[in-house]
Amino acid sequence: MPKELRYVVVLTLIAGGSAGLLALVHDATREPIAASRKARTLQALQAVLPEFDNVPTDERVVVGAADPSAPTDSEANRLPVVFMARKGGQVTGGAVQVIHPRGYGGPVKVLVGLEGDPAGTVRVRGYRFLEHKETPGLGTKALEPPFARQFEGFEVPREPLKVKKDGGTVDAITGATITSRVVAESISEAARLFREHGGRGTPGAGTPGTAPAGQADPGQQDPVPGGGHE
């Protein structure tokens, strides 16, 4: 069946050839991609961390991963991560990546930068949304001054933070209470994880992130790690 054979040959060659070509391109772009990813992580970390001289990406704890210091890609994506910042070997602070499952548009991945000592006072240095689907211009106001300013240097208490509507202290953005809640609760959770895992290099035994202890109201506000997909 020469005609049919020709189909097979042509398609095989085109597919094989294309893939080969792509392999070349992939090879050539692998380095830049890796570099840019890493740079972006570091950039994000730099923006929220106090001064450091270590490589925070190398000192991280993936809370709840099978092997917290060598997690799989997907674990690193889904689970909370604590990055430590040191200067001269001394802990100056840390950045915690948490995933809040109940943003307006779905889960929000928040990177919270903290300053201080896991054992003592912990202050907020800044925060970023790494992945989110909050409404531009509404939910994203949570990253802008009037709202964000109240957290500058804010000393995070041990009890969970709440927005005023929920009976707490945090001023919410008008029309975007949900996102405001995300920020407040993520900061709280980040500080909790930082206190728990900071400085140890290994996760606290028996505290897999799926059932975090010390939650005041688990049904209402637990930024459960891995609680959502994104």
Partner 1 sequence: MSERTALQELGKGVWAENPLLVMVLGMCPSLAVTTTLANGLGMGAAVIFVLTCSNVVISMLRRVIPSAVRIPAFIVVIASFVTMVDLVMEGFLPDLHRSLGVFIPLIVVNCIILARAEAFASKNSVWKSALDGIGMGVGFTLAITVLGGIRELLGNGTLLGMPVLGRGFQAHAALVMILPPGGFLTLGLLMAAMQARKGR
Partner 2 sequence: MDAVAYLQLVFWAMFVNNFVLAQFLGICPFLGVSRKVDSALGMAAAVIFVMVLASVITFLLYGAVLVPLSLQYLQTILFILVIAALVQFVEMAIRKFSPSLFQALGIYLPLITTNCAVLGASLLAIKKEFDFMEALVFSLGSALGFGMVLVLFAAIRERLALLRDTPRAFRGMPIALLTAGILSLAFLGFSGIVKV
Partner 3 sequence: MSETTSTGEDRRLFVGPSPHLRDRDSIPSVMRWVVLALLPAVAVSLWFFGLEAARVHVIAVAGCLAVEWACLRWLRTPGSIRDGSALVTGLLLAMNLPPTTPWWMILVGSVVAIFLAKHVFGGLGSNLFNPALTARVFLLVAWPAQMTTWLRPGVRGLVDAATLDTMTGATPLGLLKEGRLSEIAASSMDLFVGQVGGSLGEVSAAALLLGGLVLLARRVITWEIPATFLGTVVAVTGAVWVFGGPQHGTPWFHLVSGGLMLGAFFMATDMVTSPMTFRGRLIFGVGCGLLTAVIRLWGGYPEGVSFAILLMNAVTPLIDRMVPTPFGRGVPKAKEAA
Ligand X SMILES: Cc1cc2nc3c(=O)[nH]c(=O)nc-3n(C[C@H](O)[C@H](O)[C@H](O)COP(=O)(O)O)c2cc1C
Position among 88, 89, 120, 137 found at the interface with partner 1 (CB under 8 A): 137
Number of residues that bind partner 3 (CB under 8 A): 10
> In which element (H, E) is residue 229 found?
none
Q: Give the contact letters, 125-144, x = binds to ligand X (CB under 6 A), - = no.
A: -----x---xx--xx-----
Residue 76 contacts ligand X per CB under 6 A = yes
CA distances from 191 to 35, 96, 135, 158, 195 (A): 29, 8, 26, 8, 6
The minimum distance between CB 38 and partner 1, in angstroms, equals 11
Structure-token pair, residue 215 = 């939650």
With respect to ligand X, which residue has the nearer C-beta, 43 or 210?
43
Rounded-to-integer distance, Cα 99 and Cα 79, Å: 7
Position among 138, 143, 154, 230 found at the interface with partner 3 (CB under 8 A): 138
The minimum distance between CB 175 and partner 3, in angstroms, equals 3
Position among 6, 16, 17, 26 found at the interface with partner 2 (CB under 8 A): 26
Question: Which strands make up the sheet holding 122-131, listed edge to edge?
Answer: 60-62, 81-87, 90-103, 106-116, 122-131
With respect to ligand X, which residue has the nearer C-beta, 130 or 143?
130
C-alpha of 26 from chain center: 27
Residue 36 binds: one of partner 3, partner 2, partner 1, none (C-beta under 5 to 8 A by kind): partner 1
The minimum distance between CB 38 and ligand X, in angstroms, equals 5
The minimum distance between CB 30 and partner 1, in angstroms, equals 8
Helix (H, G, I), strand (E, B) or coil at 31: helix
| Residue pair 122/155 in contact by the 8 Å Cβ criterion | yes
Rounded-to-integer distance, Cα 134 and Cα 151, Å: 20
Residues forming contacts to partner 2 in the complex (CB under 8 A) are 15, 18-19, 22, 26, 74, 77-78, 101-102, 104-107, 228-230
